[in-house]
Structure 1
């Protein structure tokens, strides 16, 4: 079917209000988060309800069109934008923003998949409850996308990935059938847990339209500290001590390198370095709690012992929430600063906790050996073994030369990662960007299981084709 005819059929079947066809309107849904990649689509569908999603899926099946589900389009692996412009439509959930209910006594909420994460967090907080998923893009990302990518963020150490925070799902299947699995039960052992099939599947098995979320008690005490250390090894030693001394009250434990403030200042020139002098490694640590536990006293006792042992060389504890946010601006501003320096390798890897320091050291050494004109930066959520090891190449020589350096850097870093038995994707997903690297590391049995699952639920291969696995 030619594109013009397909657009006419979509408008006739779904209504003009749901279908975007003008090139300028379509373009913004076909651009990746960093603006590095621009594609196109037959149209963009914007349903406002689960019933409309179902109708759109059925019509696209009739027309032979593939669907690329999209939340806030904040992903970093090209999982939410099409790659075959003439045969794919984007199905955006950005009109499905209803908070269906919040039940404080049940510690649960049920929301549309298009709800922005920050909106959910604020609505839950107004009911004196807490939803702990926390991402740099939380003002733009949508919960359906968080579920479909099994998003991580800064609080995984304490609360787990998105998978641990989902009680139930509502999903439109590839034939348009709606599966209502929006239970809020904590314990339900009636066979296979079907919701797990769709968490992390990146829209390849169905479209998440509703989510039942697990809520927690809202922390009444939060303490944030930026600590200077002599090495990554000592940062990991500090983490081991923190797990013993502070138990499960650690909500974040972030490793950042010596270049952190300088990179963040590229994006935020007003940012002030809170610690004098340069140090080889820094940790941004947060404790949170409620009830009778004195979080500040616990942090003070922990830091006193760590400084007496010489693990912590210097540090600052935020005196207010505003000061805590300034410390977090260093960690979050690093990403913006790197982006402003030009195209670079962004990785999202994980290794066993016991191997974090060795991996970082060997990856830095490998980049220095293979790409001496490139700069490597390591930071991340070390409490769960997730390191973002990025490589910044010189920008001379044009886009082709830069792309070649990025490709070489990826091969170098992945070679080190493979020696540690690590993962090429700790929290961002696979999408289309990491598909070849993902498939190269699949075992035969694992690939067979994944393809069997895809074939059983989406035999026509119309749901986000080319995402995670090559088409067949």
Structure 2
């Protein structure tokens, strides 16, 4: 059967673009957190939309599962095999920028385009695509849209769904949905692209998208602010939002432990903060052409006057800004240097962030004395990466075996009590399938299953993911 699959796919895309099980498949089946370990029947790398259609038609006819894959940066296992008999459809060869329209504020790109390259294409036309995240050098547009990625600019610009005007996608039976709409107003029925964005490849294989562009800021004003607590951080956020409005593009919270870890492991060449503090807020203001410089500094002065903060440092150079952002973006990486960690991508209403951190930390400490809470993330949209590092000196494998499941249950219990979500921006994949069934409204699940059955009756698109 495997030989037949390989031969059939080679006839569609060419022998050089099909990978059989073996060492050459390793980078396609190994995901960043190394939680899921399963081979695939094959990896196929189509170079045209027509080839994707042909693959889908063949798979649908024979009942063979297809797993769409972009940059393989997903964190919940949506892009890697679950059963071992699926075919991975790897899309990096579909990487063209089809068009850029600065006047309309749009760019149309194929699913395999790397996010960093999309940034460059927009900037070459004096525009900006504001989806910004740590993996932008390897993450690809199709995967980012399929997971409805967030990032650090959601506060001002929204997540991937809000940045998408239209998509082109191959359906399970090989038909092509041609929805590359660049219209700001189109009231002609259901918004079908919103079904495909965030569907993790379970309803169609996104092959291209029309995305929103924005004018480039003239400059950025960036600061690291000392805050006494998450509650103070929320108050500071409210003050800055009132004074800065939509130009407040980032507000990130990081605990002192995160700074200690990075300095200890040599990940920062020097301390970027103004001095010791229990918590730090990374704040950024985007100044447009003709805007007054020093706007963020003025807002921070108001925060001093209101006794919300006791110290702050503003970036005086690009090197300062880069260092400040490295401090935030290295938070996930540094935890791997501290041993085992249990991670949660959750969201709550902004006002509930202090309660989430306080109650979640207390619940974790009750379970595992000495555990080190490392909550950080996007205060402006309520998305906190509520992570926990093993106690100092603990054995990592023992810690995970004993506390992984119990910690998840404890934190999700707090999140749900506070009216939050158990998956803020990473998605469901295969990691949270059972959890989704437990926490999602039953009627919502019925609607989702009905949509899946209508668009993919044979269940070949990313089988077992999201809905199980």
Asked if the contact 2:21/2:40 (under 8 Å) is kept, the reply is: no
Asked if the contact 2:227/2:277 (under 8 Å) is kept, the reply is: yes
| Cα distance change on mapping 1:398 and 1:130 into 2, 3 Å | closer
Query: Within the alignment, does 1:137 sit opposite 2:135 as a pair?
Result: yes
Q: Within 2, Cα distance between the matches of 1:437 and 1:404?
A: 19
Asked if the contact 2:224/2:274 (under 8 Å) is kept, the reply is: no
1:58 aligned residue: 57
CA drift of 1:19 comes to 1.0
CA drift of 1:60 comes to 1.9
Structure 1 unmatched runs, 5+: none
1:77 aligned residue: 76
Equivalence map 1:95-244=2 (5 Å): 95-244=93-242
**Can you list the C-alpha shifts for 1:424-460, whole angstroms capped at 9, x where unaligned?**
0111111111111111112221111010000000010
Secondary structure of the equivalent of 2:313? Answer: strand
CA drift of 1:9 comes to 2.8
Q: Within 1, Cα distance between the matches of 2:188 and 2:440?
A: 30
1:352 aligned residue: 349
Asked if the contact 2:95/2:109 (under 8 Å) is kept, the reply is: yes
1:48 aligned residue: 47
1:318 aligned residue: 315
Equivalence map 1:378-397=2 (5 Å): 378-394=375-391, 396-397=394-395
Structure 2 unmatched runs, 5+: none
1:364 aligned residue: 361
| Cα distance change on mapping 1:80 and 1:268 into 2, 3 Å | farther
Q: Within 2, Cα distance between the matches of 1:336 and 1:265?
A: 13
**Can you list the C-alpha shifts for 1:377-431, whole angstroms capped at 9, x where unaligned?**
1111010111110112258556365233111111111111111111001111111
More moved, 458-467 vs 275-284: 275-284
Q: Within 1, Cα distance between the matches of 2:198 and 2:144?
A: 8
| Cα distance change on mapping 1:176 and 1:375 into 2, 3 Å | same
Q: Within 2, Cα distance between the matches of 1:48 and 1:13?
A: 10
Q: Within 2, Cα distance between the matches of 1:267 and 1:133?
A: 29
More moved, 48-57 vs 202-211: 48-57
| Cα distance change on mapping 1:3 and 1:22 into 2, 3 Å | closer
Secondary structure of the equivalent of 2:323? Answer: helix
Asked if the contact 1:275/1:314 (under 8 Å) is kept, the reply is: no
Query: Within the alignment, does 1:5 sit opposite 2:32 as a pair?
Result: no
Q: Within 1, Cα distance between the matches of 2:87 and 2:330?
A: 34
Q: Within 1, Cα distance between the matches of 2:453 and 2:312?
A: 54
Asked if the contact 1:70/1:145 (under 8 Å) is kept, the reply is: yes
CA drift of 1:309 comes to 2.1
Question: Which of 416, 419, 436 is matched with 1:418 structurally?
Answer: 416
RMSD over aligned Cα, in angstroms?
A: 1.5
TM-score, normalising length from structure 2?
Answer: 0.97
Q: Within 2, Cα distance between the matches of 1:10 and 1:51?
A: 13
Q: Within 1, Cα distance between the matches of 2:38 and 2:467?
A: 19
Q: Within 1, Cα distance between the matches of 2:441 and 2:247?
A: 38
CA drift of 1:231 comes to 1.1
More moved, 172-181 vs 409-418: 409-418
Q: Within 2, Cα distance between the matches of 1:267 and 1:50?
A: 46
Q: Within 2, Cα distance between the matches of 1:436 and 1:218?
A: 42
More moved, 7-16 vs 133-142: 7-16
Q: How many residues align?
A: 467
Asked if the contact 2:222/2:315 (under 8 Å) is kept, the reply is: yes
Q: Within 2, Cα distance between the matches of 1:399 and 1:425?
A: 25
CA drift of 1:232 comes to 1.0
TM-score, normalising length from structure 1?
Answer: 0.96
Asked if the contact 1:256/1:378 (under 8 Å) is kept, the reply is: yes
| Cα distance change on mapping 1:268 and 1:457 into 2, 3 Å | farther
Asked if the contact 2:221/2:287 (under 8 Å) is kept, the reply is: no
